[in-house]
Amino acid sequence: MERTISFYSFIIMVSYIILVSSLSLAQSDTSAVTRLTLQDGSEVMGYIIEERDSLIFFRSISGIRMEIDTSLVKKNEFIEGEISDGELIRFDPNRTRLLFGPTARTLKKGTGYFSTYEIYFPSIAYGVSDIITLSGGISLIPGADEQVIYAGAKVGIFESEVVTLGGGFIYAHVSDTDFGTAYGVVSIGSQRTTVTLGLGWGYEDWEFSGTPVIILGGEVQVSNSIKLLTENWLPPDTDFVIIS
C-alpha cells in the first residue's frame, strides 16, 4: 500500500510538471525555422514569408523583414526547432528513447546514433525508414567468458502532432539463453514536452511473462542545453519500483 501511494504520488507530480511546461510552451512559435547561409559566409535565421521571382521575402527571429536576392544564398536549410520568447530552441535529437527505455518515436530514415550503457554495453541504432528503427550491439566486459549479443527493432504505428504509437522487440543472447522484451508504447506531447507510457512483456527462452512491466517516462526541454528527464518502472508481482 505504501509503495502504491508513493508511486502514484510521483506520477501526479510528473504529470503536473509536464502540464505546466506544456502551457508555457504554448506561446512558442512552431513555424518552420530556416537558416540562410549567404555567399559571404554570413547567416540569418528566421522565416521565409514568400519566394517570388528572384527574391526571398524573409523575417528574422528578431522580427526584421528583408528581401534577399536568391543569387546571394549559398545554402537554405530547415532547423529542427522553434522560437520561444525571441530565442531559437533547437529540438533535442534524442527523442526516440528515455534514459534506457524507448519512446514511441522512431528515427528518421538515414539517421542514427551510437550509445553506451555503463561503458560495457555499446549500441548503434539506424533508421532504415521513417517508421522502422533497428539497433544492436555486443557487450565488452573485460575477462568475461561470453559476451551478451543484443538487437532490437521498433516500428512506428501512428504519429500525429500530439500522439505517437509504436511497438518493438528487444532480443539478447548469452550462454545458450535467449531473453528480452516485446513492448508497446505511446508518447503524448510536443517536440519539447512529452509523456511516455509503455507496457513490456519479458521473456526467457521464448517463455513470455503473463503480466507486463509498466514504464512511465517524461521529458521537458527547457533550453538548448538543459532537458529534464524521468523514467520509472513498475515490474509485476514485486514491491520493487524503479524511480529516476
Domain identity same for 61 and 169: no
What pLDDT is recorded for position 87?
73
CATH number, position 48: 2.30.30.100
For residue 101, count CB atoms less than 10 angstroms from its CB and return exposed for 0-12, middle for 13-18, buried for 19 or more. Answer: buried
Domain identity same for 105 and 158: yes
Instruction: Give the residue-averaged pLDDT of 154-166.
Output: 93
Cβ(178)–Cβ(116) below 8 Å: no
What pLDDT is recorded for position 194?
92
Domain identity same for 19 and 48: no
For residue 28, count CB atoms less than 10 angstroms from its CB and return exposed for 0-12, middle for 13-18, buried for 19 or more. Answer: middle
What pLDDT is recorded for position 223?
83
SS3 call for 69: strand
Domain identity same for 113 and 206: yes
Cβ(152)–Cβ(170) below 8 Å: yes
Cβ(129)–Cβ(145) below 8 Å: no
State how far the alpha carbon of 188 is from the alpha carbons of 133, 166, 205, in Å: 19, 12, 33
DSSP-derived letter for residue 225 is S
Query: What predicted TM-score, i.e. pTM, was given to this entire model?
Result: 0.73
225 lies in which domain range?
A: 2-27+92-243
98-152 pLDDT, tens per residue? 988 999 999 999 999 999 988 899 999 999 999 999 999 999 999 988 999 999 9
Domain identity same for 140 and 216: yes
| Among 93-97, 101-105, 200-204, the least confident range | 93-97
26-83 pLDDT, tens per residue? 444 445 788 889 999 888 888 888 888 889 999 888 888 999 999 999 988 887 777 7
Domain count, the chain: 2
